[in-house]
Every structure is written in structure tokens, then in C-alpha cells.
């Protein structure tokens, strides 16, 4: 029995030493503490983890190695151990070198020989914390990314989305994760979506395309999607990064609009240049027609049929001259002047021109009141208003025909009318109404019809500048324009122009005695017909005339004998040297030399330019015989002593 007892004792000692050896060499840190928190034991892993020797640790307490443990927390932990027998929590440990690392502590209460101890097993959870924090950061980035992010399974089922996707679509995450991508994407059909899936399977990188997403409230939003194929747990997914491109699309729309407007502006500029060139050539032709007509008038007996016919040619020529002024006004090469005028006369003349071009299925009914007050306006611009409104009315009715009504009446806007006409001051106005029985204008377009470049006509049939231009003209005249329209019924434009407290200018044919004179004139023009007419007309007035067909020849003739001439009359636009350049050189040779320039472009010659060069007078082409006679007489009279 004694030997058996000795053997058992030996075995127990062996087991204890073996248990102690295993505990000391396990990879888990183990520390035994007493009730006050002093370290009574630390295994090799604990020493290695903390950087202390075992002897050093046995002289320390839990407060030395755990910066989060203090005199308040330790009693709480010990009480938990005593009550529950164990406790698990996360904390921090401080190494000998001062570095701190996260740990997970599992403590167990041990009772031995009437003493209580805490056996703590400690795991370094630095790597787990790093992975967890990385995961948290990844999730944070996923949720807070300024793009919508969708995780989509094959077949289109949405499995996850971030916060931004929920915000721009108006759904919750739970709602979206129960939906298919086809319920969101409205830019493609199911077949096209399937083609995109198939394409992404073949593309190794990012596949980018544009589409349209529909929000929960039913509104659409243009988006750009960058999709990529990924496998997670061997399951294929598509990750879509969605960017709202509403602003970009709007910017593109505005850019295209600006490009169109720029092209239109360039067209208008080119058209203006072309119009100015045509007007210059037409003025020369018209000058010859009017000149020869006036010469013929001088040869005709006063009451003859021939004189009447020539008078009609002259009237037509004057009307053509006004048409040229309209062309120049359109091309911005002529400034408009206002004066009291009879609007009814201008409307009647415009309607005569319009009736000629209207098809047989459109009839004009004019109702123009008599004895109307004058309007302070530009005649050409009023003519332009009538032509534009009537042309638009014709266009609206050209397929169905109908009646085009043009009315001109006097109206008075009183104080109580201002509510209906807030843009107008109380007073007397003329109201021009142009009404058609055409297709009408849709309500949504009414507010835009006066915008520059807006037109309902097909491409190539309208510039969108007509109504915008006349709106500007009417506003410049202190008036307003109103429009009333109903689709399928027709459209009516009302133009209100304030009346003037003055007498309107009239065009009464009269015969006047033109002033004659004497003197030597150098007449310069590159058009032979105008040279011949100028020569004959000036000689009829009593002057001696020499002609030259170019500014260079005229300048050479002047250099030969500067005192020979009393006056120089020259065209402005001529090849090789212009009239104003010739005038500058003549004034260098003889500073007191009077010069009259004839031009079809008032913009080319202005008051400052004529004063700088020393021009005595400017005559606008085509030059009328009476204007020429008065200008020459006035200039030469200023040179002679009283």
C-alpha cells in the first residue's frame, strides 16, 4: 500500500508539472491575479507579448499593464467573476516599450485552499481589429460614396445598394433590394438590358454607358453607369457605379443651343454683308433708272401721257429706294429715324405688296379707320411689322386657306384699363390687329414665340427672328404686342402704338423750281451710267462738269491743277481706292476743297468721320435729282462771300 501511495503521489506531481509546463508554453497569454489585481503568475506567451520578464511581471499589477483598468473598474470585474464565475471583455495592454494593443480577455474565478484567484487568458486582437476597421471603412465608403452603387445578381435582381442610390431614387434600401434592375432602368428594354449583361461577361474591364433611371415619384433622371463583373463566393455579380448626369445633359443642351444660335448669328452676319453688297449694286442700278426718268421728265410736256408714265416710273423707283433702305436696316447698316407718320398709309402700301404674293385661297379683309392720329415712328419699321405679321398669318393658313383680317383703329387706355394692360400708360393709341384662321399656337409655346431663334417652322423655313425683331421694334416705339391663339381656330396679334401730338408727314407730289448755279465740278463714279446722268443733270443746273471713272484718275486730275475745280462729288465705294480715302488725299493737297460723298451705307460715313475728313455733305444713294441740286447749291453758296 505504501508503494502504491508513493506511486500515486509521484504521478500527481508529474501531472502538475506537466500541466504547468503546458500552461507556461501555450500560445495563449495566461496571467493569474489575486483579489487586489496583483500578478501572481504569467506564462511565457504573456511575458513575450508584454515584453517583460516573468520576474518583472510578478512585481506588477493589472493596473500596470492595462491602461483601461483602474480602481473603479477592477472591483466591478472581480465582483462579476465572483458572481458569475467568469467574465469576458475587450481591453488594452501596454507593453514595456509603451506601445498599446487591443486584447480580448476571458477570466475565470479559481478557488484554491480558501483563496480566490482570477485566471485570465488573453488574445491579441490587433489583426482582427484591423480587419474589422477596414471592413467598417469599406462599408462607410460604400454608403457615403457620391455615386449610386448597385450590387446586382445575374438576372437583374438588386442585392445591395448604398445610401446615395436610395437618395437619388427615393426608395429605401429594403425596397430596392426587393426590386429588379428593369424596374429602375427605363432607358433600355429587357432585351437590351440582357445584351448589356452579355457584353459585360465578355468585357474584362469597366463597361460604361448612359441610360435613364426612374425615381419612385415617377420622374426620370439621366445617368451614366460604369459596370464591372465580379465573383463573390463563386457567385457572379455586376457592380454598377451610377452618376447623375442631369447637369451635364443640360449643359450639353445649352451648348448645342448656343452653337445653333452662333451659327444663326454667323448666318445673319453673312446675310447682312450680302444684303449690304446687294443694296450697293441695286442702288447704282436704281440710281440710273431714277436719273434717266428724271432727265426724261425734264423733256416731257407738262400734261403729256409720256410725262405721266415717267412719273409712275419715278414713283416705283422711290418705292424701290425704300425697299433698299429696309434691306440695309435688316443688315444693320442703316440707322432708323423716327418722325410723325400716317400709319394707315403704310399699312395700305404693305397690303398691296402682300396681296400680290398670296394664293387664291387666302383673302385679305382690311378695316382701316379714317382720320387717325399720327404715330411717331420709323416708316420702314412699321412696314416691317405689317409684312411680318401678315406673312406669319399666311404661313398658318397656306394649307387650308381662309380670311386674313387687318384692322387699324384708335383706342384709349384709361386708368381703370391698366390692370388689363400693365405694360402701358394711360393715353391714346392706335391698335393694329392681324387675325388669321390658321392652325393656332399651342398654349405651351405662346410665351416663347418672341424669343430669338424660336420657331415652329421646319428647319430651313424660318430663322426664328421675325417676331423677336418686331417685338424689339414695337418696344422701341413705346408700344406693346399681345397675342391670342387657339389651336385649330386661329391667331390674332394686337399691336398698340402711342399716338403723337404732331402732324404726320405726307408724300404729296409737288413741282419745285430747283436752284441753279455756276462753277466747275469734278464728278467721280465707277458706274458709267451714273457718270453720264450726273454730268447731264449738273450741266442742266448751269455747272461745268468733268467726270472720272475711278478715284485714282480723279486724284491725278486734281493734282495736275488743284485750283481748277470748285467742288468734288464722289461715290464712296469704288475699286482700288474708296471715296473717303480720295477725299483725305485731296484735302492734303487743298485743305479748303469742298467735297460731297454719295454712299449707300450710312454706317460707313458718320458725323465724326465726315468732320475728320472735312466732308461738306453726304447724299444717300440712289441720289435724287432735287437732293443733288440743293446739296450742290448749299455747299457752293457757303464758299462765296455774301
Using one digit for the tens of pLDDT, what is the confidence trace for 4-17?
555 545 555 555 56
Whole-Å CA distances, 78 to 29, 61, 141, 315? 19, 14, 41, 122
* Cα separation, 469 vs 331, whole angstroms: 12
282-306: pLDDT as tens digits:
777 887 788 888 878 777 877 788 8
Looking at residue 288, its pLDDT comes to 79
Q: Distance (Å, rounded) from C-alpha 147 to C-alpha 162?
A: 9
- 540-565 average pLDDT score: 92
Q: What is the reported pLDDT for 555?
A: 93
Cβ contacts of residue 7 below 8 Å, gap of 6+?
Answer: none
Q: Look up residue 130 and give its three cell numbers.
A: 484591423
| Mean residue pLDDT across the chain | 81
In this prediction, residues 164-188 reach a mean pLDDT of 88
Domain residue limits, the chain: 20-124, 130-244, 262-330, 343-498, 520-639
Distant-in-sequence, close-in-space partners of 576: CB < 8 Å, separation ≥ 6: 550, 551, 552
Q: What is the pLDDT of residues 58-90, one digit of tens each?
A: 989 999 999 988 888 899 889 988 989 888 888
* Distance (Å, whole) CA 571 – CA 605: 12
Q: Report the pLDDT averaged over residues 124-153.
A: 76
Q: What pLDDT was estimated at residue 99?
A: 92
**Is the peptide bond preceding residue 551 cis, with omega within 30 degrees of 0?**
no
- Architecture category of domain 20-124 in CATH: 2-Layer Sandwich (3.30)
pLDDT band at 331 (very low <50, low <70, confident <90, very high): low
pLDDT at 543 over 50: yes
The CATH architecture of the domain made up of 343-498 is: 2-Layer Sandwich (3.30)
Question: Which pLDDT band, with edges at 50, 70 and 90, does 461 fall under?
Answer: very low
Contact 541, 516 (CB under 8 A): yes
Which pLDDT value is given to residue 451? 67
- pLDDT tens figures, 477-532: 888 888 888 888 888 999 999 988 755 545 444 456 788 888 999 999 988 888 98
Q: What is the pLDDT of residue 462?
A: 43
Asked, colleague to colleague, whether 20-124 and 130-244 share their fold, the answer is: yes
CA pair distance 391, 1, nearest whole angstrom: 136
Res. 404: pLDDT tops 80: yes
CB-CB contact of 120 with 106 (8 Å): yes
Per the document, the length of the chain is: 642
- Residue of 10 and 583 predicted with greater confidence: 583
Pairwise pLDDT comparison (480 vs 155), residue with the higher score: 480
Question: Average of pLDDT values for 188-201?
Answer: 72
Q: Helix or strand or coil: residue 385?
A: helix
pLDDT band for position 452 (cuts 50, 70, 90) = low
460 pLDDT above the threshold of 50: no
What is the structure's pLDDT at 137?
62
| Residue 150 to residue 475: CA distance in whole angstroms | 56
Confidence of residue 333 (pLDDT cuts 50, 70, 90): very low
Burial 93-114 (b: 16+ CB within 10 A, else e): bbeeeeeeebbebebebeeeee
User: Hey, what CATH topology would domain 130-244 get?
Assistant: Beta-Lactamase (3.30.450)
Who has greater pLDDT, 53 or 236? Answer: 53
Q: Locate cell 383703329: which residue?
A: 409
Q: Angle at the Cα of 231 (from 228 to 236), degrees rounded to 5?
A: 80
> Looking at residue 405, what is its pLDDT?
92
**Confidence at 259, pLDDT banded by 50, 70, 90:** confident
| Lowest-pLDDT range of 366-380, 424-438, 592-606 | 592-606
Please tell me the distance from the alpha carbon of residue 35 to that of residue 79, in angstroms, as a whole number.
10
Query: pLDDT at position 595, please?
Result: 92
Task: List, for residues 337-353, the tens digit of each pLDDT value.
Answer: 678 888 998 888 888 87
User: How much is the pTM?
Assistant: 0.43
Q: What topology does CATH give the domain 520-639?
A: Rossmann fold (3.40.50)
Binned at pLDDT 50, 70 and 90, residue 95 comes out as very high
Of all residues in the chain, what percent carry a pLDDT higher than 70? 81
Give pLDDT, residue 8. Answer: 46
Least confident of 128-137, 171-180, 230-239, 549-558: 128-137
The pLDDT value recorded for residue 459 is 42
3-state per-residue secondary structure call for 457-524: CCCCCCCCCHHHHHHHHHHHCCCEEEEEEECCCEEEEEEEEEECCCCCECCCCCCCCCCCCCCEEEEE
Helix H or strand E segment including 225? strand 220-232
What is the secondary structure of 129-191 as a DSSP string? HHHHHHHHHHHHHHHH-SSEEEEEETTSBEEEE-HHHHHHHT--HHHHTTSBGGGTB-SS-HH
Beta strands 29-33 and 115-124 are: antiparallel
Amino acid at each position: 500500500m505504501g508503494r502504491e501511495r508513493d506511486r500515486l503521489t509521484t504521478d500527481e506531481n508529474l501531472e502538475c508539472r506537466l500541466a504547468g509546463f503546458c500552461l507556461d508554453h501555450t500560445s495563449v497569454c495566461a496571467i493569474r491575479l489575486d483579489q487586489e489585481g496583483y500578478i501572481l503568475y504569467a506564462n511565457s506567451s504573456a511575458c513575450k507579448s508584454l515584453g517583460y520578464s516573468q520576474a518583472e511581471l510578478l512585481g506588477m499589477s493589472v493596473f500596470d499593464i492595462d491602461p483601461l483598468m483602474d480602481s473603479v473598474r477592477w472591483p466591478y470585474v472581480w465582483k462579476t467573476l465572483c458572481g458569475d464565475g467568469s467574465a469576458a471583455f475587450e481591453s488594452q495592454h501596454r507593453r514595456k516599450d509603451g506601445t498599446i494593443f487591443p486584447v480580448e480577455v476571458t477570466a475565470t474565478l479559481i478557488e484554491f485552499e480558501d483563496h480566490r484567484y482570477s485566471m485570465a487568458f488573453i488574445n491579441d486582437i490587433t489583426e482582427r481589429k484591423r480587419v474589422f476597421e477596414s471592413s467598417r471603412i469599406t462599408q462607410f465608403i460604400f454608403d457615403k460614396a457620391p455615386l449610386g452603387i448597385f450590387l446586382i445578381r445575374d438576372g437583374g435582381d438588386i442585392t445591395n445598394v448604398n445610401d446615395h442610390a436610395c437618395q437619388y431614387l427615393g426608395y429605401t434600401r429594403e425596397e430596392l433590394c426587393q426590386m429588379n434592375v428593369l424596374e429602375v432602368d427605363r432607358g433600355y428594354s429587357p432585351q437590351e438590358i440582357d445584351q448589356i449583361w452579355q457584353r459585360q461577361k465578355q468585357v474584362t474591364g469597366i463597361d460604361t454607358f448612359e441610360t435613364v433611371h426612374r425615381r419612385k415619384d415617377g420622374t426620370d433622371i439621366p445617368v451614366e453607369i460604369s459596370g464591372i463583373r465580379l465573383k463573390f463566393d463563386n457567385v457572379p455579380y455586376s457592380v454598377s457605379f451610377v452618376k447623375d448626369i442631369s447637369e451635364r445633359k443640360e449643359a450639353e443642351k445649352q451648348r448645342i443651343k448656343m452653337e445653333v444660335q452662333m451659327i444663326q448669328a454667323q448666318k445673319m452676319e453673312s446675310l447682312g454683308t450680302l444684303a449690304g453688297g446687294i443694296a450697293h449694286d441695286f442702288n447704282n442700278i436704281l440710281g440710273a433708272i431714277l436719273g434717266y426718268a428724271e432727265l426724261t421728265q425734264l423733256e416731257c410736256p407738262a400734261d403729256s401721257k409720256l410725262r405721266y408714265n415717267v412719273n409712275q416710273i419715278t414713283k416705283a423707283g422711290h418705292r424701290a429706294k425704300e425697299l433698299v433702305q429696309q434691306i440695309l436696316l435688316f443688315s444693320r447698316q442703316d440707322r432708323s429715324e423716327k418722325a410723325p407718320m400716317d400709319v394707315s398709309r403704310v399699312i395700305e402700301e404693305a397690303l398691296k405688296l402682300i396681296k400680290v404674293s398670296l394664293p387664291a385661297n387666302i383673302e385679305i379683309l382690311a378695316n382701316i379707320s379714317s382720320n387717325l392720329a399720327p404715330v411717331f415712328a420709323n416708316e420702314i419699321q412699321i412696314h416691317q411689322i405689317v409684312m411680318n405679321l401678315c406673312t406669319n398669318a399666311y404661313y398658318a393658313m397656306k394649307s387650308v386657306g381662309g380670311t386674313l383680317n387687318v384692322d387699324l383703329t384708335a383706342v384709349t387706355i384709361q386708368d381703370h384699363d391698366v390692370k388689363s394692360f400693365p405694360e402701358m400708360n394711360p393715353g391714346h393709341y392706335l391698335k393694329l390687329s392681324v387675325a388669321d384662321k390658321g392652325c393656332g399656337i399651342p398654349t405651351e409655346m405662346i410665351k416663347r414665340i418672341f424669343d430669338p431663334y424660336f420657331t415652329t417652322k421646319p428647319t430651313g423655313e424660318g430663322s426664328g427672328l421675325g417676331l423677336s425683331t418686331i417685338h424689339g421694334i414695337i418696344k422701341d416705339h413705346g408700344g406693346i404686342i399681345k397675342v391670342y391663339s387657339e389651336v385649330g381656330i386661329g391667331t390674332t396679334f394686337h399691336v398698340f402704338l402711342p399716338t403723337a401730338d404732331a402732324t404726320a408727314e405726307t408724300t404729296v407730289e409737288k413741282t419745285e423750281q430747283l436752284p441753279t448755279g455756276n462753277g466747275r465740278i469734278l464728278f467721280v463714279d465707277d458706274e458709267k451710267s451714273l457718270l453720264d446722268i450726273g454730268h447731264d443733270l449738273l450741266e442742266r443746273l448751269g455747272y461745268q462738269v468733268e467726270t472720272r471713272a475711278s478715284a485714282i484718275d480723279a486724284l491725278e486730275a486734281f493734282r495736275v491743277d488743284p485750283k481748277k475745280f470748285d467742288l468734288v462729288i464722289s461715290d464712296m465705294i469704288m475699286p482700288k481706292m474708296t471715296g473717303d480715302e480720295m477725299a483725305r488725299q485731296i484735302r492734303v493737297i487743298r485743305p479748303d476743297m469742298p467735297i460731297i460723298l454719295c454712299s449707300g451705307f450710312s454706317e460707313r460715313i458718320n458725323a465724326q468721320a465726315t468732320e475728320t475728313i472735312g466732308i461738306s455733305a453726304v447724299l444717300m444713294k440712289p441720289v435724287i435729282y432735287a437732293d443733288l441740286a440743293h446739296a450742290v447749291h448749299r455747299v457752293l453758296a457757303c464758299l462765296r462771300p455774301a
